């Protein structure tokens, strides 16, 4: 009888995504390849300042090194699957395929005075907020620092080249918000590495005050952020001023109830002296009454903060309604009358499901 053959399936060799490496890590890699110390810095500048489209284009590197980089590393792993525009080209949503078939989305919003990108920090999200399309997907996986950074570089490269030929032309990104798919503090380490990479003055050099992170309210993440050296802006998704309502809308509130969230926020303010912003999505008949506006005012009174009201953007299958304009105004007035800075967020990209909380996507085959 013939002996049965067993075939061993080897894991395909996973090449390093060069955008996953920090400058010290890149320096280590170059050292291990026997390269002089300054090579890492040269590559870093090519990646983050020149936005080189290929290793071949890094003509200040020796040809042999360019070849080795091409053979053994990857200059990015995101595959552009779809690009959609709205608002006369001033809003642009890109769907990315990750190497394992999962997907994330990013959105560029051009205004007369700024070019803002909204970036994903996870594929899907585990937090399950009832009003959010991403929450309905569940968490697919955490994404890597490189996968976060690459989303940004794509838009920067195109703005630099032709401004996407949009009406409001900019030649660089002025603002970055981590408000796409996912909860940044649930992927803290990888997300933070991406912040350091984007902020690094030797590379991309995006100012801390031009970056904003939004959290569902993971108190340990807020505390950790207050110890970080890069002073980016913090937005906190509050959405309800009492535990009963907040837990119904946001399951995370059972783990970090309002008292704990506000204590962590107050600590953050005291430590950093920075104004935080509270986000409050307005859902008709759920959290938009004048009484709740009064409760909200009492909750945040005296804090160094700003309240950002967000008219809810439709999510398929969610049994919710956006508040009426009049109700939004009344809600805002309660806060303003009590001396609390409060604005209503202008919506963008609703027609292409690119607005806040509308990002959700299905895995894509290769
Ligand atoms: N996970 C983070 C950041 C991503 S969500 C967070 O929750 O803060 C960015 C913002 O959009 C949050 O304030 C979120 O509550 C809000 N949001 C979610 N779904 C929304 C929807 N359908 N309409 C309007 N805003 C929504
Ligand atoms: Fe996740 Fe934020 Fe959506 Fe909540 S609102 S499910 S935390 S992405």
Q: pLDDT digit string (tens) for 140-164?
A: 999 999 999 999 999 999 999 988 8
Report how far ligand 2's centroid is from the alpha carbon of 123 (Å). Answer: 11
Select from 344, 361, 348, 319 the least CA-distant residue to 87.
Answer: 348
Predicted local confidence at residue 351, as pLDDT: 82
* 349 within ligand 2 shell (Cβ under 6 A): no
Strands 139-142 and 233-237: unpaired
Predicted local confidence at residue 22, as pLDDT: 97
What residues contact residue 117 under an 8 Å CB cut-off, 6+ apart? 106, 107, 108, 109, 151, 152, 155, 173, 175, 176, 177
How far is it, in rounded angstroms, from Cα 275 to Cα 268?
Answer: 9
- Among this protein's residues, is 356 annotated catalytic? yes
Structure tokens at 325: 């304009």
Q: pLDDT digit string (tens) for 206-236?
A: 999 999 999 999 999 999 999 999 999 999 9
Contact 272, 231 (CB under 8 A): yes
Q: Give the number of the ligand closest to the Cα of residue 135.
A: 2
Predicted local confidence at residue 347, as pLDDT: 84
Q: Whose CA is nearest to atom 5 of ligand 1?
A: 179
Grade residue 11 by pLDDT with cuts at 50, 70 and 90: very low
Q: Whose CA is nearest to atom 8 of ligand 2?
A: 182
Report how far ligand 2's centroid is from the alpha carbon of 264 (Å). Answer: 19
Q: pLDDT digit string (tens) for 14-45?
A: 789 999 999 999 999 999 999 998 999 999 99
Query: Dihedral (C-alpha) 159, 366, 198, 153: value to the nearest 10 degrees?
Result: -10
Grade residue 13 by pLDDT with cuts at 50, 70 and 90: low
Structure tokens at 272: 């950093």
Predicted local confidence at residue 90, as pLDDT: 92
Strands 115-118 and 103-110: antiparallel
Domain boundaries, the chain: 16-74, 79-352
Pick the CATH number of 79-352 from 3.30.300.30, 3.30.565.10, 3.30.70.20, 3.20.20.70: 3.20.20.70
Mean of pLDDT values over 166-189: 95
pTM: 0.94
- What is the number of the ligand 1 atom nearest to the C-alpha of 214? 8
Mean pLDDT (the chain) is 94
Q: Give the number of the ligand closest to the Cα of residue 132.
A: 1
Residue 197 has pLDDT above 50, yes or no: yes
Pick the CATH number of 16-74 from 3.20.20.70, 2.60.40.10, 3.40.630.40, 1.10.150.530: 1.10.150.530
Predicted local confidence at residue 324, as pLDDT: 96
- Percent of the chain's residues with pLDDT above 90: 86
Half-sphere exposure of 198 (CA within 13 A, CB side): 34
Grade residue 116 by pLDDT with cuts at 50, 70 and 90: very high
222 sits in which H/E element:
helix 219-225
């Amino acid at each position: 009888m013939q002996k049965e053959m067993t075939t061993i399936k080897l894991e395909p060799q996973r090449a390093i995504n060069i955008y996953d490496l920090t400058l010290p890590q890149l320096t280590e890699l170059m050292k291990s390849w026997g390269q002089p110390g300054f090579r890492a810095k040269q590559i870093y500048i090519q990646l983050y300042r020149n936005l080189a489209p290929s290793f071949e284009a890094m003509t200040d590197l020796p040809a042999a090194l360019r070849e080795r980089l091409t053979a053994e590393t990857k200059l990015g792993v995101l595959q552009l699957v779809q690009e959609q525009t709205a608002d006369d080209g001033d809003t642009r949503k890109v769907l990315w395929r990750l190497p394992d078939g999962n997907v994330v989305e990013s959105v560029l919003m051009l205004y007369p005075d700024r070019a803002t990108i909204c970036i994903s920090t996870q594929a899907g999200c585990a937090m399950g907020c009832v009003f959010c399309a991403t929450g309905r997907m569940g968490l697919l996986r955490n994404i890597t620092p490189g996968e976060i950074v690459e989303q940004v570089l794509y838009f920067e490269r195109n703005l630099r080249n032709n401004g996407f030929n949009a009406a409001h032309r900019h030649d660089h990104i002025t603002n970055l918000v981590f408000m796409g798919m996912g909860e940044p503090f649930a992927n803290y380490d990888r997300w933070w590495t991406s912040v350091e990479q984007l902020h690094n003055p030797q590379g991309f050099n995006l100012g801390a005050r031009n970056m904003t992170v939004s959290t569902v309210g993971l108190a340990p993440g807020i505390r950790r952020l207050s110890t970080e050296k890069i002073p980016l802006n913090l937005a906190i998704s509050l959405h309800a001023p009492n535990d009963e309502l907040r837990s119904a809308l946001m399951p995370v509130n059972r783990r970090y109830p309002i008292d704990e969230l506000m204590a962590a926020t107050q600590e953050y303010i005291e430590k950093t002296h920075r104004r935080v912003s509270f986000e409050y999505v307005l859902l008709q008949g759920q959290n938009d009454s004048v009484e709740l506006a009064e409760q909200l005012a009492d909750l945040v009174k005296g804090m160094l903060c700003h309240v950002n009201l967000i008219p809810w953007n439709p999510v398929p299958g969610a049994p919710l309604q956006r508040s009426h304009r009049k109700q939004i105004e009344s809600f805002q007035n309660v806060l303003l009358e009590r001396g609390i800075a409060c604005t209503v967020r202008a919506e963008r990209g609703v027609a292409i499901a690119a607005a806040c909380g509308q990002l959700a996507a299905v895995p894509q085959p290769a």
